Amino acid sequence: MAPPRNVVKIAVQMRDAIPQLIQLDQAKPLAAVLKEVCDAWSLTHSQRYALQFADGHKRYITENDLEAERLLGGLQSASHEGRREALKHLVLLASDMTFAQEVISRDGLQRLGTIIEDGDDLGEVLALGLRAFLELMEHGVVSWETLSIPFVRKVVCYVNMNLMDASVQPLALRLLESVTLSSPALGQLVKSEVPLDRLLVHLQVMNQQLQTKAMALLTALLQGASHAERKQMLDYLWQRNLRQFIYKNIIHSAAPLGDEMAHHLYVLQALTLGLLEPRMRTPIDPYSQEQRDQLQALRQAAFESEGESLGTGMSADRRRSLCAREFRKLGFSNSNPAQDLERVPPGLLALDNMLFFSRQAPSAYSRFVLENSSREDKHECPFARSSIQLTLLLCELLHVGEPCSETAQDFSPMFFSQDQSFHELFCVAIQLLNKTWKEMRATQEDFDKVMQVVREQLARTLALKPTSLELFRTKVNALTYAEVLRLRQTERLHQEGTLAPPILELREKLKPELLGLIRQQRLLRLSEGTLFHKISSRRRQDKLWFCCLSPNHKVLQYGDVEEGTGAPTPENLPEQLPVADIRALLTGKDCPHVREKGSGKQNKDLYELAFSISYDRGEEEAYLNFIAPSKRDFHLWTDGLSALLGSPMGSEQTRLDLEQLLTMETKLQLLDLENVPIPDQPPPVPPPPTNFNFCYDCTIAEP
Q: What is the DSSP string of 55-83?
A: STT--BSS--HHHHHHHHHHHT-SSHHHH
Provide DSSP, 647-680: -----HHHHHHHHHHHHHHHHHHHGGGGGS---S
Cα separations in angstroms, 671 against 278, 433, 657, 674: 61, 45, 21, 6
DSSP-assigned letter for residue 592 = T
| Residue 518 and residue 654 in contact, taking contact as beta carbons nearer than 8 Å | yes
For residues 311-336, one letter each, b for 16 or more C-beta atoms within 10 angstroms of the residue's C-beta and e for the rest, the string is: eeeeeeeeeeebbeebbbbbbbeeee
Rounded to whole angstroms, the maximal C-alpha distance in the chain is: 123
- ∠ CA 160-164-167 to the nearest 5 degrees? 110
| Residue 415 and residue 473 in contact, taking contact as beta carbons nearer than 8 Å | no
| Residue 155 and residue 190 in contact, taking contact as beta carbons nearer than 8 Å | no
For residues 457-481, one letter each, b for 16 or more C-beta atoms within 10 angstroms of the residue's C-beta and e for the rest, the string is: bbeebbeeebbebebbbeebeebeb
What's the CATH fold of domain 513-657? PH-domain like (2.30.29)
Provide DSSP, 326-392: HHHHHT-SSSSGGGGG-STTTTHHHHHHHHHHHHHSHHHHHHHHHHHHTS-GGG---HHHHHHHHHH
pTM: 0.69
Helix 289-311 × helix 362-373 angle, to 10°:
60
Which residues are registered as beta bridge partners of 9?
A: 23
Task: Supply the pLDDT for residue 376.
Answer: 64
**What residue spans of 441-566 are helical by DSSP H?**
447-463, 469-478, 481-495, 501-528
Task: Supply the pLDDT for residue 509.
Answer: 92
Task: Supply the pLDDT for residue 333.
Answer: 84
Which residues are registered as beta bridge partners of 11?
A: 21
State the DSSP H helix or E strand holding residue 627, giving kind and residue range, or none if neither: strand 620-627
Which residues are registered as beta bridge partners of 60?
A: 52
Task: Supply the pLDDT for residue 40.
Answer: 85
Cα separations in angstroms, 527 against 96, 438, 522: 26, 54, 9
Task: Supply the pLDDT for residue 541.
Answer: 54
Specify the amino acid at residue 344.
Answer: V
Task: Supply the pLDDT for residue 310.
Answer: 46
What phi and psi values does residue 24 have, to the nearest 5 degrees? -90, 115
How many residues appear in the chain? 703
How many alpha carbons lie under 13 Å from residue 329 in its C-beta half-sphere? 24
Task: Supply the pLDDT for residue 309.
Answer: 47
Condensed to tens digits (0 to 9), the pLDDT of residues 340-396 reads: 899 888 999 999 999 999 999 999 999 998 888 776 667 789 999 999 999 999 999
| Residue 198 and residue 159 in contact, taking contact as beta carbons nearer than 8 Å | yes
d(CA 172, CA 92): 19
Q: Classify residue 383 by burial, with Cβ atoms within 10 Å: 0-12, 13-18, 19+.
A: buried
Grouping H, G, I as helix, E, B as strand and the rest as coil, residue 441 is coil
Identify the CA nearest to 365 among candidates 307, 313, 448, 301: 301
pLDDT beneath 50, residues of the chain: 306-311, 497, 539, 702-703
Task: Supply the pLDDT for residue 155.
Answer: 93
d(CA 479, CA 469): 15
Sheet-wide strand order for 610-617: 582-587, 610-617, 620-627
